[in-house]
A and B are shown apart, each in its own frame.
Chain A
């Protein structure tokens, strides 16, 4: 119970800080990205697998490498529109507790909206799109068996542009991707109604 309370408090506090920072910044003036912009970045993250019937003890987590690419333009003084490609590769995901691990490549592609909050370079990002999950395992005969599923994706980020030059910024991101993949079954591993949740921290470069 005490652990739960601490976890909740941390989660709520983190959310509150992010949201408050965003909310306060909404009154700002400047847009760090004008016109066409391109952002690429890499980082690390976790993917959480929980099927429709999963209890808390059955949730599995694996770490992986992330990559994102965004391109777009500015539609108003604080709002940017773009398209994002995101992937997270993990080689030790158990779809359910007790299952053998699989290689998992999960990602999404779709439109994103960025809201710049204030002139500091802080932005919030929301996106919707298509999710893609590829899960691979090696069979007893050594053959690689893969399951590929397509679904729907939502993403939310908070990011920060740090000016390097007028046309270049270093961009930090903290994000979550909700990837609704569906039923997955590969070799001896399976999960029903997989909705994978990815948390990602990354850093990249933005050309603007």
Chain B
């Protein structure tokens, strides 16, 4: 066992030194955030392995977890038995694993692989971890969440960290920015550190900051309750971060996730990080001329949803295909934005209410869905929005079950100054679960929020104005 540990430790040390030795100093014309020319695929593979070794050894040596003491016996057992569904906590399954996947993905991004080239590295890292990083049998839901969630979360972190960095900054500001980027994108930050880029003066990538971006912080209170239910009411302070990079109509399609929207909610004593929703454009094609009063774009989006509030849990990795439209309303600059899309849920997760035993807390399954949204916007800022989403999940873990979910919400923001405003949000979510071997479940949930908003952003001017 000690020999294995030494081998693992040795391998863990491979990745970053290889990066240091193999990566030449960037030329002044080379660097961009989303693409660079010196692809180091072997470095990416080595670093994803290094991530796994580091995480495994930390869990074995620092935290002393038995499951981290892997070896030939556990590896052979895992190879023999293959995949199963696991019963980990919802947060571990639906947030920690996508975050873990973002580390693999950004090992590839930090070595100049593009989005599509980095996706296999996320799956590779997850496969290594599931078979060789734990004594537990490989978990198929973890593989899905890491492999699909890692790229979308990782790309957001990659782009946000790139926006934080400033190659032209010096001194304490430079170190502060590098440290902040390290926190946001650890693998990318470590690569920069090893390559000596933390102090090297250079030229900022031209795409360092998106042409259009919007950063909105909302702080206030929220209340979530189950209607006529037994789970009661939970009220708490809340902080929402709403980040948009790119704009569907202002940013012509160039590459995957050139337009991405992320919404995260943290509520102390109210579920902690209880909401993370990322929608990123994988492909887009404008269907109109671009200068009319109506504009329509065909979109293929990747979507990640994580809802873990005190009264219900839901999550998914899905693909959306639909049309987003912009409807100009007049010379004021206000316009209506609509989105109609169908969804293929690659894997969804919802509480297994019919089987609340310790060994089954989540129903996993693929599904389909649809989404209809309308919002009133101006200069990229949303004043009113209303959404409806429906999901049908077919559980393939545990007792046969079909889940139908309807999510509806309304949001209003009233500006007070150019950056400050007040807002409110009301949503009603409904769940109907049909179990073939247990009684059906029919539940509804309501969430309300009131908050102050602070907005920072820049939008590409609307050419129709």
A residues lining the B interface (CB < 8 Å): 1, 3-5, 7-8, 11-12, 19-20, 22-24, 26-27, 48, 50, 52, 54-56, 59, 76, 79, 113, 115, 124, 126, 128, 130, 149-152, 154, 156, 178, 180-183, 192-193, 195, 197
Q: Would you give 8 A-B contacts (Cβ < 8 Å), ordered by A? A: A22-B120, A59-B81, A59-B82, A76-B116, A149-B396, A151-B394, A180-B364, A193-B85
Complex CA gap A1/B71 in Å reads 10
Q: Which of B68-102 contact A (CB under 8 A)?
A: 72-73, 75-77, 79-85
B381 within 8 A of A: no
B145 within 8 A of A: no
Complex CA gap A113/B64 in Å reads 40
Look across to chain A and name the residue whose beta carbon is closest to the beta carbon of B401.
A182
Complex CA gap A55/B282 in Å reads 41
Is the Cβ of B80 less than 8 Å from the Cβ of A56? yes
For the complex formed, measure the closest distance between the CB of A144 and the CB atoms of chain B, giving whole angstroms.
Answer: 22
With contacts A56-B81, A182-B400 taken as known, whether A5 is within 8 angstroms of B72 at the C-beta atoms is yes
For the complex formed, measure the closest distance between the CB of B148 and the CB atoms of chain A, giving whole angstroms.
Answer: 8
Residues of the A chain whose Cβ atoms lie less than 8 Å from the Cβ of B45: 19-20, 23
With contacts A26-B117, A152-B366 taken as known, whether A55 is within 8 angstroms of B400 at the C-beta atoms is no
For the complex formed, measure the closest distance between the CB of A63 and the CB atoms of chain B, giving whole angstroms.
Answer: 17
Residues of the A chain whose Cβ atoms lie less than 8 Å from the Cβ of B399: 183
- Kindly identify which residue among B75, B84, B347 contacts A52, using a CB–CB cutoff of 8 Å: B84
Complex CA gap A124/B132 in Å reads 22
Q: Which of B33-89 contact A (CB under 8 A)?
A: 39, 41-42, 44-45, 72-73, 75-77, 79-85
- Kindly identify which residue among A12, A48, A76 contacts B82, using a CB–CB cutoff of 8 Å: A48
Residues of the A chain whose Cβ atoms lie less than 8 Å from the Cβ of B280: none
Is the Cβ of B346 less than 8 Å from the Cβ of A152? yes
Residues of the A chain whose Cβ atoms lie less than 8 Å from the Cβ of B75: 4, 8, 11
Complex CA gap A192/B84 in Å reads 10
- Enumerate the 3 nearest inter-chain pairs by beta-carbon distance, A residue then B residue, closest first: A4-B76, A182-B396, A151-B396
Look across to chain A and name the residue whose beta carbon is closest to the beta carbon of B128.
A15
Residues of the B chain whose Cβ atoms lie less than 8 Å from the Cβ of A26: 39, 41, 113, 117
Complex CA gap A3/B80 in Å reads 12
Chain B's interface: helix, strand, loop or mixed, by majority?
A: helix
With contacts A126-B123, A128-B346 taken as known, whether A59 is within 8 angstroms of B84 at the C-beta atoms is no
With contacts A24-B42, A56-B80 taken as known, whether A182 is within 8 angstroms of B72 at the C-beta atoms is no
Complex CA gap A20/B143 in Å reads 21
B140 within 8 A of A: yes
Extra contacts, 13 of them, besides A8-B72, A26-B39, A59-B82 (Cβ < 8 A), are A1-B73, A7-B79, A8-B75, A8-B79, A23-B41, A50-B82, A52-B397, A56-B81, A151-B394, A152-B365, A180-B396, A195-B85, A197-B83
- Kindly identify which residue among A5, A8, A23, A55 contacts B81, using a CB–CB cutoff of 8 Å: A55
Complex CA gap A11/B75 in Å reads 10
Is the Cβ of B397 less than 8 Å from the Cβ of A193? yes
Look across to chain A and name the residue whose beta carbon is closest to the beta carbon of B317.
A128
Complex CA gap A18/B397 in Å reads 31
Is the Cβ of A115 less than 8 Å from the Cβ of B72? no
Q: Which of B77, B79, B132 has the most CB of A within 10 A?
A: B79
Is the Cβ of B82 less than 8 Å from the Cβ of A19? no
Is the Cβ of A195 less than 8 Å from the Cβ of B41? no
Is the Cβ of A181 less than 8 Å from the Cβ of B143? no
Is the Cβ of A130 less than 8 Å from the Cβ of B366? yes
- Kindly identify which residue among B42, B82, B365 contacts A195, using a CB–CB cutoff of 8 Å: B82
With contacts A4-B73, A5-B72, A152-B365 taken as known, whether A115 is within 8 angstroms of B83 at the C-beta atoms is no
Complex CA gap A24/B42 in Å reads 7
Residues of the A chain whose Cβ atoms lie less than 8 Å from the Cβ of B365: 151-152, 182
Q: Which of B172-223 contact A (CB under 8 A)?
A: none
Is the Cβ of B73 less than 8 Å from the Cβ of A193? no
B121-137 vs A: 1/0 string, CB under 8 Å?
A: 00110000000100000
B144 within 8 A of A: yes
Is the Cβ of B77 less than 8 Å from the Cβ of A178? no
Complex CA gap A154/B122 in Å reads 14
B398 within 8 A of A: yes
Look across to chain B and name the residue whose beta carbon is closest to the beta carbon of A25.
B41
Q: Which of A23, A27, A151 has the most CB of B within 10 A?
A: A23
Residues of the A chain whose Cβ atoms lie less than 8 Å from the Cβ of B398: 183, 192-193
- Kindly identify which residue among B73, B82, B347, B397 contacts A197, using a CB–CB cutoff of 8 Å: B82
With contacts A52-B85, A151-B365 taken as known, whether A178 is within 8 angstroms of B73 at the C-beta atoms is no
Is the Cβ of B72 less than 8 Å from the Cβ of A152? no
Complex CA gap A48/B75 in Å reads 17
Look across to chain A and name the residue whose beta carbon is closest to the beta carbon of B76.
A4
Is the Cβ of A4 less than 8 Å from the Cβ of B72? yes
Complex CA gap A183/B148 in Å reads 25
Complex CA gap A19/B108 in Å reads 14
Residues of the B chain whose Cβ atoms lie less than 8 Å from the Cβ of A150: 394
B248 within 8 A of A: no
With contacts A52-B85, A180-B396 taken as known, whether A24 is within 8 angstroms of B116 at the C-beta atoms is no
- Kindly identify which residue among A7, A23, A56, A182 contacts B395, using a CB–CB cutoff of 8 Å: A182
- Kindly identify which residue among A8, A130, A154, A182 contacts B76, using a CB–CB cutoff of 8 Å: A8
- Kindly identify which residue among B42, B79, B397 contacts A23, using a CB–CB cutoff of 8 Å: B42
- Kindly identify which residue among A1, A50, A113 contacts B84, using a CB–CB cutoff of 8 Å: A50
Complex CA gap A76/B116 in Å reads 11
Complex CA gap A182/B366 in Å reads 11
Complex CA gap A201/B81 in Å reads 20
For the complex formed, measure the closest distance between the CB of B425 and the CB atoms of chain A, giving whole angstroms.
Answer: 32
- Kindly identify which residue among B117, B119, B123, B366 contacts A151, using a CB–CB cutoff of 8 Å: B366
